[in-house]
C-alpha cells in the first residue's frame, strides 16, 4: 500500500508584505530535510488575510505563482497554499496546487467570510478540486469552508485526505479543532488543517493549532502558538483498514450540490 509524505508550515506572516513573506517561506522550505512530496502553506501566505485585493492581487503569471513554480522544481515536491488572484476583473482567494513539473491546478474559496467582509471584495468559487498524488486523492479547501460540512461530504470514497489552509483566529480555535476532527470522522478520511500564528495587521491573534486527524478521530499531530515545520508520512494501509473495519460510508445519504 502506498505512503504519502506531507510537510506543513505553521508560520507567522508579515502583514501585506509579499517580499518579506516569500523570503521567509523560501528559507523555511529550504530548511526541510525530511523527504516530502507535498508542502502546505497557510491561507493568503504572501499577504496575510488582506481585504485589499486591488493592491495585492496578481494574475496567474504573476511573481508569487512563479515563485511557487520555482520552489516546487527546487524541492521536487508539490507546493500548495492560497493567495490573491485577479481574473476577468474579479478577485479570488485561490488555492494553487503546483506540481514539480510546473503545471498546476487551483481551487477558489467557495465560502467567503462575510464576518470580515471577504464577500465584499472577493468572488466565490463553485467547483471542488480533488487532486491525485500516488493514488491518494486530496480534497483541497480553504479556512471558512470548514464550517460547511456538505461542501466536504464524501459520497462513496471520493477522497482520502481533506486539506484546509487557513488564517483562523485564536478566539475561535475550539471550533477549528472540533470541526477538523468532525470532518475526519464523518468522512472517514485524514483531515489536515494548516493555520498561521501571530498577530495580523488588524491585531487579530492566531494560535496556529495546525492539526492532523486520522479517520477515527485520532490526533496524529497538533501544534499551538509556535512556528513549526512538520513532516508526516501517511499510510494508505491504515486508512484502508479503518474504512474496511468500520464501513460507515456505505450507509451515508447521497445528494447533489447545486
Q: How many residues does the chain have?
A: 258
To the query of whether residue 143 is one of the catalytic residues in this protein, the response is yes
List helix spans (H) across the chain.
18-30, 53-56, 63-75, 118-121, 149-152, 173-187, 236-245
Q: Around Cβ 227, how many Cβ atoms within 10 Å?
A: 15
C-alpha angle 149-154-155 in degrees, rounded to nearest 5: 125
Q: Pick the catalytic residue from 109, 177, 189, 223.
A: 109
Rounded to whole angstroms, how far apart are CA atoms 88 and 6? 33
Residue 27 annotated among the catalytic residues of the structure: no
> 250 in helix, strand or coil?
helix
Which position among 118, 143, 186, 223 bears the catalytic label?
Answer: 143
CA nearest to 151, candidates 256, 231, 250: 256
- Select which of 16, 28, 37, 43 is catalytic: 43
Structural contact between residues 75 and 36, judged by C-beta atoms closer than 8 angstroms: yes
Is the Cβ–Cβ distance between 145 and 109 less than 8 Å?
yes
**137 tagged catalytic:** no
Catalytic residues: 43, 109, 143
Amino acid at each position: 500500500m502506498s505512503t504519502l509524505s506531507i510537510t506543513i508550515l505553521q508560520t507567522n506572516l508579515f502583514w501585506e508584505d509579499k517580499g518579506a513573506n516569500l523570503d521567509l517561506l523560501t528559507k523555511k522550505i529550504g530548511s526541510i530535510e525530511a523527504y516530502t512530496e507535498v508542502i502546505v502553506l497557510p491561507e493568503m501566505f504572501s499577504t496575510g488575510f488582506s481585504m485589499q485585493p486591488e493592491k495585492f492581487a496578481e494574475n496567474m503569471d504573476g511573481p508569487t505563482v512563479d515563485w511557487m513554480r520555482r520552489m516546487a522544481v527546487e524541492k521536487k515536491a508539490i507546493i500548495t497554499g492560497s493567495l490573491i488572484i485577479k481574473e476577468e476583473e474579479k478577485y479570488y482567494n485561490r488555492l494553487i496546487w503546483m506540481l514539480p513539473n510546473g503545471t498546476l491546478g487551483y481551487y477558489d474559496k467557495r465560502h467567503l467570510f462575510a464576518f470580515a467582509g471577504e464577500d465584499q471584495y472577493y468572488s466565490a468559487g463553485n467547483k471542488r478540486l480533488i487532486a491525485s498524488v500516488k493514488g491518494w486523492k486530496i480534497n483541497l479547501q480553504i479556512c471558512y469552508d470548514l464550517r460547511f460540512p456538505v461542501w466536504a461530504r464524501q459520497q462513496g470514497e471520493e477522497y482520502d485526505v481533506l486539506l484546509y489552509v487557513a488564517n483562523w483566529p485564536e478566539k475561535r480555535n475550539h471550533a477549528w479543532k472540533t470541526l477538523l476532527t468532525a470532518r475526519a470522522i464523518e468522512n472517514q478520511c485524514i483531515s489536515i488543517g494548516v493555520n498561521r500564528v501571530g498577530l495580523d495587521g488588524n491585531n487579530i491573534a492566531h494560535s496556529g493549532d495546525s492539526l492532523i486527524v486520522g479517520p477515527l478521530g485520532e490526533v496524529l499531530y497538533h501544534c499551538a502558538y509556535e512556528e513549526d515545520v512538520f513532516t508526516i508520512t501517511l499510510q494508505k494501509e491504515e486508512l484502508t483498514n479503518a474504512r474496511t473495519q468500520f464501513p460507515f460510508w456505505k450507509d451515508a445519504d447521497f445528494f447533489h450540490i447545486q
